[in-house]
Amino acid sequence: MKILSVNAGSSSLKFTLIEFPSKNTIASGLFEKIGMEGSMYTIKYNGEKIVKSAPLDDHSVAVSKLIDELIANKIVDSLEEIEGVGHRILHGGSEFTSSTLLDEDVLKRIEKYNELGPLHNPANIMGVRAFMKVLPNVKNVGVFDTTFHQTMKESEFLYPVPYEWYTEYGIRKYGFHGTSHRFIYKTISEYLKRDDLKVISCHIGNGGSLCAIDSGRVVDTTMGFTPLAGIMMGTRSGDIDPSIIPFVMKKTNMSAEEVINALNKKSGLLGISGLSSDGRDVENGANEGNERCILAQNMYAQKIANFIAMYNNLLNGADVITLTAGVGENSKTMRKMIIDRIQSLGVKIDDEKNDFRGEFRLISTDDSKIPVYVIPTNEELMIALDTLELIS
């Protein structure tokens, strides 16, 4: 049995083809600049790599091209081998509390939340409809970034604002990266053979969020009404005093949308370093003595450490801390900077164990009060697992 795991953007389509029960990735790839000049795609399989330029007028054309390549390269012998397509969907509001089978009626319900995820939801839905058109007999499943966080209590997901803002406009903390946090919790629970773990899951990449999880239930998470909240990120500011927004508007004559755009795309590591949003570039700059890169690194590590300490208190003592995503999996420097800032919790890093990239490993010392694991995330597999469960 083969399942396609799909993440559609406004002009892109990323896919992974996974075989069950082995859970092996058979092929993966990316279609870029859909609906634009210079459109192209890359497909990797069996150690091979296909890179082609091709006109991709819309997502349906991209999906058709994907299917043609899968057949032509004998990645699948027939379309009947593809038994389900799982789709990453950013926002399901409060309504969608688990992954769900998709049809046109469900898609219309999801569209109600497009205003909460205007950059992602319409594109995600566009990808679903493209697969429905090209593969009409294959079942589609929606896996939402927000569903895992729907287990938060009202006391954690509400903001201290007029209550009617929540009841009338849906203003509350939704949280994101839920598929990744759920995968990490599932992985560490299976590894330690416990289903009652209290875990602080740190998904730190270009985007980043932390999640406090108790026995599979989310207690709190750093991202909020939008993915702009929480820790400092590659280009996002994370939490700031909201009064900054009208102040900057008056000083610069920028609109609210322009200020929010700056907070989303020109802040974070990029805004402080003035060099790059990529943690690798900032780390290289810091190693060369660039003072703003050093400042950016220190701010980034401290803000993550602060949330770890807060979540440890919220959980009344965590059993495990996990680090994942681009920075968490690959930067031994940032991992050490973060852990060194939570020594008050009795957490200690083993520098020798920490000297690696992209593997599942324990990196804390034997006498660390809380063990720290690096766990590579696999959202595509989590999407495929949900899809397999629902189509079965």
DSSP state of 364: B
Output b/e per residue, 356-366; b: 16+ Cβ within 10 A. eeeeebbbbbe
> Can you tell me the distance from the alpha carbon of 151 to that of 221, in angstroms, rounded to the nearest whole number?
11
> Can you tell me the distance from the alpha carbon of 144 to that of 138, in angstroms, rounded to the nearest whole number?
19
Check residue 9 and give its pLDDT: 83
Any idea which residue has 């009208």 for tokens?
A: 246
DSSP state of 287: H
Is the peptide bond between 21 and the residue preceding it cis, with omega within 30 degrees of 0?
yes
SS3 helix, strand, coil % of the chain, rounded to 5? Answer: 40, 20, 40
Answer CATH for 193-379 from 3.10.129.10, 3.50.50.60, 3.40.50.620, 3.30.420.40: 3.30.420.40
Check residue 256 and give its pLDDT: 96
Residue 119 has pLDDT above 80, yes or no: no
Burial class (CB in 10 A: 0-12, 13-18, 19+), 162: exposed
Check residue 101 and give its pLDDT: 97
Check residue 337 and give its pLDDT: 98
> Can you tell me the distance from the alpha carbon of 177 to that of 365, in angstroms, rounded to the nearest whole number?
28
Check residue 79 and give its pLDDT: 87
pLDDT digits (tens, 9 = 90+) for 181-238: 999 999 999 999 999 999 999 999 999 999 999 999 999 999 999 999 999 999 999 9
pLDDT digits (tens, 9 = 90+) for 169-192: 999 999 999 999 999 999 999 999
Tokens of 227: 């993915």
Rounded to 10 deg, the angle between the 244-252 and 256-265 helix axes is 110
> Can you tell me the distance from the alpha carbon of 298 to that of 294, in angstroms, rounded to the nearest whole number?
6
Average pLDDT value for residue range 279-307 = 97
| Domains in the chain: boundaries | 2-144, 193-379
Average pLDDT value for residue range 305-317 = 98
> Can you tell me the distance from the alpha carbon of 331 to that of 38, in angstroms, rounded to the nearest whole number?
33
Check residue 156 and give its pLDDT: 95
pLDDT digits (tens, 9 = 90+) for 366-375: 999 999 999 9
Residues designated as active site: 145
Architecture of domain 2-144: 2-Layer Sandwich (3.30)
Check residue 235 and give its pLDDT: 94
Please, are residues 381 and 18 in contact by the beta-carbon 8 Å criterion? yes
- Strands of 24-32's sheet in order across: 48-53, 40-45, 24-32, 13-19, 2-8, 82-89, 139-144, 100-102
Check residue 354 and give its pLDDT: 98
Query: What is the pTM assigned to this prediction?
Result: 0.93
Average pLDDT value for residue range 57-78 = 92
pLDDT digits (tens, 9 = 90+) for 91-104: 999 999 999 999 99
Residue 10 has pLDDT above 80, yes or no: no
